[in-house]
Amino acid sequence: MTMNVTQCLLQSGDAPREISDYQVGVPRWCNGCGDNAILTAMQRLCRDNDLAPERTVFVSGIGCSSRLPHYMNTYGFHGLHGRSLPIAEGVKMSRPDLKVFVSTGDGDCLSIGAAHWIHALRYNMDLTVLLHDNRIYGLTKKQASPTSPIGTKSNTTPKGSYLAALNPLSVTLGVANVSFVAQVVDWIPELLYEVIAAGYRHKGLSFIRIIQRCPEFMPGLFDPWMQDPQRTLLLRHPNGVVPSAELSRTYRNQVDHDPRDIDAARRIASSEDPIPVGVLYWDPDVPCYEDTRHAGALRRPEDVRRGLEAELDKFTIRPEAHG
């Protein structure tokens, strides 16, 4: 008699978790806000991977995006503006056994936290980083962000923003030790999930830029792309994401792109229109900083005592009186 995996799990006494096991509170985001889609994808990801809620930590900074941990029934750390990455790195270094996700926004990650963004890529710790990029500051009520398109009228740029938008993908792809870069949009739920899932599977820092609607302050910004599927370019590859047949019926503009090819990734990254969606870059062989530093090594009082005594020996000036 054979049993399938599900039956095995059921018999072992642990009922598989449901989406509701990861839900808590009522999201306070606006109607139509892309954060809702990201939250749903994350809860599904936890369910599908049966993540133990107590061994899962969602870390965030400050901004609309960073409310996400409050709606996950896991451990969460709603930190400081710009500092989600170093907090998450500390969590991971202290406890490499925990699954750590990071939610950060375009202001949080690319502006006030820009230094941490660059260096987090270099550390390449095993974190799944979601850049909720709605191209505007929402929580502080509409100021231009680093990814606001030039000419964006906002409360700090009433005549239109002055500077060209920063491209987070090309910057990311220029940093040493980058190991996973993807882009997706909030309005294609299936792809959103698949891309995040690919990032989750990657051991190392997965940087996922999620282009996200802000119906309150950037209404209609992405309408042209939503109305014309041809303006979305699906990156297709077994090393990345392979769109389903159903999805391919709508999104026919597809290209084979092996995410192991960083030069091709850099070319694709610079495209604003069509919006490339999928895994741009993947290198599974970049070492993780927590492994290099031997995080989580078992440590006993005896080790500390021995280490301390060995050092004290070096400073002891009257050894004859010792012991």
CA dihedral 127, 96, 118, 203 (to 10 degrees): -50
Nearer to other proteins, 137 or 225 (CB): 137
How far is Cα 125 from Cα 123, in angstroms, rounded to an integer? 6
Asked if 312 is part of the footprint of other proteins (rule: CB under 8 A), the reply reads: yes
For residue 205 the two structure tokens come to 């820092």
The yes or no reply on residue 307 touching other proteins (CB under 8 A) is yes
Cis ω before 158 (30° cut-off from 0): no
**Which CB atom, from 116 or from 236, has the smaller least distance to other proteins?**
116
The site that binds other proteins (CB under 8 A) totals a number of residues, namely 64
- Cβ of residue 250: shortest distance to other proteins, in angstroms? 37
CA distance 259 to 210: 18
Distance CA 317, CA 293 (A): 33
For residue 268, the SS3 value is: helix
Rounded to the nearest whole angstrom, what is the least distance from the CB of residue 181 to other proteins in the complex? 20
- Interface with other proteins (CB under 8 A), residue from 23, 73, 253, 254: 73
Determine the residue type at 207.
F
C-beta of 85 vs 144, nearer to other proteins = 85
Among 3, 115, 150, 163, binds other proteins (CB under 8 A): 115
User: With binding defined as CB under 8 A, does residue 44 bind other proteins?
Assistant: no
According to CB under 8 A, which one of 14, 54, 256, 273 is a site residue for other proteins? 54
What's the CA gap between 150 and 113, in Å, rounded?
21
Rule CB under 8 A: say whether 94 interacts with other proteins.
yes
Instruction: Considering the complex, state which of residue 159 and residue 318 has its C-beta at the smaller distance from other proteins.
Output: 318
13 contacts other proteins (rule: CB under 8 A):
no
176 part of the interface to other proteins, by CB under 8 A = no
Is 53 an interacting residue with respect to other proteins (CB under 8 A)? yes
Q: Are 65 and 30 in contact (CB under 8 A)?
A: no
> Which residues, 6+ apart, have CB-to-CB distance to 184 below 8 Å?
191, 192, 195, 196, 208, 209, 210, 211, 277, 278
Least Å distance, CB 233 to other proteins, is: 34
For residue 240, give both structure tokens: 């990345």
Amino acid type, 66: S
Query: Which of the stretches 185-193, 200-208, 226-234, 289-297 binds other proteins when contact is defined by CB under 8 A?
Result: 289-297
Which stretches of 186-301 are assigned E, i.e. beta strand?
206-211, 232-236, 254-256, 275-282
Q: Which is nearer to other proteins, 15 or 321 (CB)?
A: 321
Closest CA to 51 of 64, 42, 61: 42
Cβ distance to other proteins smaller for residue 14 or 273 = 14
Footprint on this chain of other proteins (rule: CB under 8 A)? 24-25, 52-55, 57-59, 69-70, 72-80, 83, 85-95, 97-98, 115-116, 118-119, 293-295, 297-299, 301, 303-312, 314-319, 321-323
